[in-house]
Amino acid sequence: MQRRLALAATLVHDPSLLYLDEPTAGVDPILRERFWTHFRSLRDLGRTIIVPTQYVGEAASCDLIAVMSAGRILTVQAPGALTRFAFGGDPLLVGFSQGWASQADVQRLLTLPFVRSVQRVDEGLAVAVDDCERGAEALREHARNSGLPAPSIEPYEPTMDETFVRIIEADRLQRSRQPEAASA
């Protein structure tokens, strides 16, 4: 009820810019969705809404997403572009009917000129390529020619949580590799 009251008090004077700091923290999922339905209607009326949130999945409802870590903005992207940014290309899911790809298979994939990255995921391999359609066909051809048992290759749609974690981990890895003098 306090969250509802705070939101009502914020909206009573019809502001054009709203800063709603974690407006859905501690709110049940049904009320959270009602809040976001209302936020989208305010956006559609031309309001600008800034929403810091720990509920990463909520970010998919925003027009732009800023990913922050250690007090720094790592990127600002539209939700549709965030996955491409996180993976360094269009991610494809390479699924296997029998077991996993070997480490040698992963290394061979990494040598292909159109492959940007390869990551093991629960369903198989997430392979980032320059272009989803051409990359999928090239991966199918590679699987046929190399004997890689990959019966399914399809666009990979990671969760927003997975996307955020990938961006933040890549940033942490990059910062850990920088010399101490550069961070001073």
Whether the Cβ atoms of residue 39 and residue 49 lie closer than 8 Å to each other:
yes
What confidence category does residue 183 fall into, taking pLDDT thresholds of 50, 70 and 90? low
Task: Classify domain 82-161 by CATH number.
Answer: 3.30.70
- Considering the chain, what is the average pLDDT of its residues? 87
pLDDT at 180 over 70: no
Per-residue model confidence as pLDDT tens digits over 125-155: 999 999 888 999 999 898 888 877 767 899 9
Whether the Cβ atoms of residue 24 and residue 18 lie closer than 8 Å to each other:
no
What distance in Å separates the CA atoms of residue 83 and residue 95, rounded to the nearest whole number?
Answer: 19
pLDDT at 184 over 70: no
pTM score, whole prediction: 0.76
Range list for CATH 3.40.50.300 in the chain: 2-80
What distance in Å separates the CA atoms of residue 29 and residue 35, rounded to the nearest whole number?
Answer: 10
What distance in Å separates the CA atoms of residue 116 and residue 91, rounded to the nearest whole number?
Answer: 9
pLDDT at 25 over 90: no
The pLDDT value given to residue 177:
86
pLDDT at 98 over 90: no
pLDDT at 110 over 80: yes
pLDDT at 20 over 90: no
The pLDDT value given to residue 105:
82
Per-residue model confidence as pLDDT tens digits over 28-72: 889 889 889 988 999 999 999 998 888 888 888 889 999 999 899
Whether the Cβ atoms of residue 10 and residue 18 lie closer than 8 Å to each other:
yes
The pLDDT value given to residue 132:
87
pLDDT at 176 over 60: yes
Range list for CATH 3.30.70 in the chain: 82-161
Cβ-based neighbours of 69, under 8 Å, separated by 6 or more:
167, 168, 171, 172
Average pLDDT of 115-125?
89
pLDDT at 101 over 90: no
What distance in Å separates the CA atoms of residue 82 and residue 163, rounded to the nearest whole number?
Answer: 7
CATH class name, domain 2-80: alpha beta
* Residue 87 Cα distances to 65, 90, 146, 147, 184, angstroms: 16, 7, 24, 26, 29
